[in-house]
Amino acid sequence: MRSSIMRIVSMVALPVFLLLSLAYLAGATSTFANTCLPRSGSGASVFTHIATPLNSASDWTDLDSPATNNQPSAVVFVTPNWNPGGSGGVFDNHPTGVWYHAGKWAIFNQDVKAIPNGAAFNVMVLSGGGGQSFVHTANATNSAADYSDISNRITDNNPNALVFITPNWNPGGRGTGVYNNHPIGVWYHGYQWSIFNQDGIAISNGAAFNVLVVRIRPV
């Protein structure tokens, strides 16, 4: 069992995520379904990570990439991939999140169940400081009941934005974090996008999320 320090967890992803990521990595601001792909820092790194006995321990599996190693400010997004390459398949039937420790980012199961050997994840890493990726932290001012409002110039008054989120237990590699042990999603109301718990349970104060916004181009 890992340290009892709390961690934020869970994960939401969309099927188009990897395709958008690859276009991003190519450095193009191209049109795909009338979208404007993001630019964050020097670019993005995309890859598939597979949990093995050598890179995993207990409920987490460490990423090993120049984009993530010794990069506490990296913004990491993950999507479980049951069968990379279209063969085989390993279930990891748990909500997941990312956290930073000992110079590496890791994917972990929020319920602290062991990561299965062979579980795979699509990963996209953005360098920190870009305009279309950022970290959102729920607090008493921006949250109510089961949701937390995102306040950002590229999401406010933009109901057609494509919003991607991955829970981040310790943004910037800080030593403590907050669980949000619930399935999550995004929704638009009023003039803002929000992150919400799909089970209707109150969102945890201090829970943090990596956010990527893909803007829709005007037709």
Asked if residue 12 is part of any domain, the answer here is no
The segments of the chain whose pLDDT lies below 70 read 1-43, 128-130, 216-219
Asked if residue 211 is part of any domain, the answer here is yes
Asked if residue 9 is part of any domain, the answer here is no
Output the pLDDT for position 218.
61
Output the pLDDT for position 132.
87
Output the pLDDT for position 176.
87
Q: Give the whole-angstrom CA distance, residue 99 versus residue 173.
A: 8
Q: Give the whole-angstrom CA distance, residue 62 versus residue 136.
A: 23
Domain that holds residue 48: 17-216
* Residues with Cβ within 8 Å of residue 66, at least 6 apart in sequence: 45
Asked if residue 78 is part of any domain, the answer here is yes
Output the pLDDT for position 35.
41
- Distance linking the first and last C-alpha atoms of the chain: 52
Output the pLDDT for position 181.
83
Asked if residue 7 is part of any domain, the answer here is no
Looking up tokens 């959102």 gives 136
Asked if residue 119 is part of any domain, the answer here is yes
Output the pLDDT for position 212.
95
Asked if residue 6 is part of any domain, the answer here is no
Q: How far is CA 105 from CA 10, 30, 72, in A?
A: 15, 29, 8
Asked if residue 123 is part of any domain, the answer here is yes
For the chain, what is the domain count? 1
Output the pLDDT for position 28.
33
Output the pLDDT for position 175.
85
Q: How far is CA 27 from CA 48, 50, 158, in A?
A: 20, 26, 24
